[in-house]
Structure 1
Amino acid sequence: MRNLKSILVIAFVSLTLTSCNDDDAPVLEPAVSNQAINIPAPQIGGAGQGPVSGAFTKFSFKSGTVVTDASWDIAFRGTDILVNGGSKIGLTDEPARTANGSLAIETGAFESILEAPEDANFKQDATDVYALPIGSGNGWYTYNRQNNVINPISGKVIVVKTNDGHYAKMEIISYYKDLDASNPRNGRFYTFNYVYNPNLGDKSL
Structure 2
Amino acid sequence: MKKSKLIQGMVMLVVAISFGACTKDEIKPQLEDGKSTIVKDLPGDVGNTVGGAKPFEIFYFSLKTSNKVDKSKLLTADWDIAFAKEYNSYVSVNNGTNDQSYGFGGPGKAAMVVVNQAYDAVKTAPSDDEFEKNGVSAVGWDPGNGNGWYFYELNTHIAVPVKNRTYVLKTADGQYAKLQLISMYKGAPATVSDLNWPAPYFTFRYYVQQDGSRNLSTKD
Q: TM over 0.5, yes or no?
A: yes
Task: Give the corresponding residue for 2:67.
Answer: 65
Which stretches in structure 1 are left out of the alignment for 5+ residues? 1-30
Matched, 1:107 2:116: yes
Matched, 1:82 2:88: no
Matched, 1:174 2:180: no
Secondary structure (helix, strand or coil) at the match of 1:186 reads coil
Matches of 1:34 and 1:97, distance apart in 2: 29
Task: Give the corresponding residue for 2:207.
Answer: 195
Aligned residues: 166
Which residues in structure 2 correspond to 1:111-150 (within 5 Å)?
111-122=120-131, 131-136=137-142, 137-138=144-145, 139-150=148-159
- Equivalent of residue 41 in structure 2, options 26, 38, 41: 38
Query: Which structure has more RCO (C-alpha within 8 Å, separation ≥ 6)?
Result: 2
Which residues in structure 2 correspond to 1:152-171 (within 5 Å)?
152-171=161-180
Native 8 Å contact 2:47 2:199 kept in 1:
no
Which stretches in structure 2 are left out of the alignment for 5+ residues? 1-33
Matches of 1:163 and 1:113, distance apart in 2: 20
* Percent identity (aligned): 26
State the one-letter code of the partner of 1:53: P
CA distances 1:38-61 after superposition (whole Å, capped 9, x unpaired): 1223289774x1687343111111
Matches of 1:51 and 1:115, distance apart in 2: 44
Q: 1:146: Cα distance to partner?
A: 3.8
Task: Give the corresponding residue for 1:204.
Answer: 215
Matches of 1:58 and 1:75, distance apart in 2: 4
Secondary structure (helix, strand or coil) at the match of 1:111 reads helix
Native 8 Å contact 2:38 2:203 kept in 1:
yes
Native 8 Å contact 1:107 1:157 kept in 2:
yes
Pairwise CA RMSD:
3.0
Shifted more, 188-197 versus 134-143: the winner is 134-143
- Give the direction of change, closer, same or farther, for the CA distance of 1:184–1:108 in structure 2 (3 Å limit): farther
User: As a proportion of its length, which structure holds more strand?
Assistant: 1
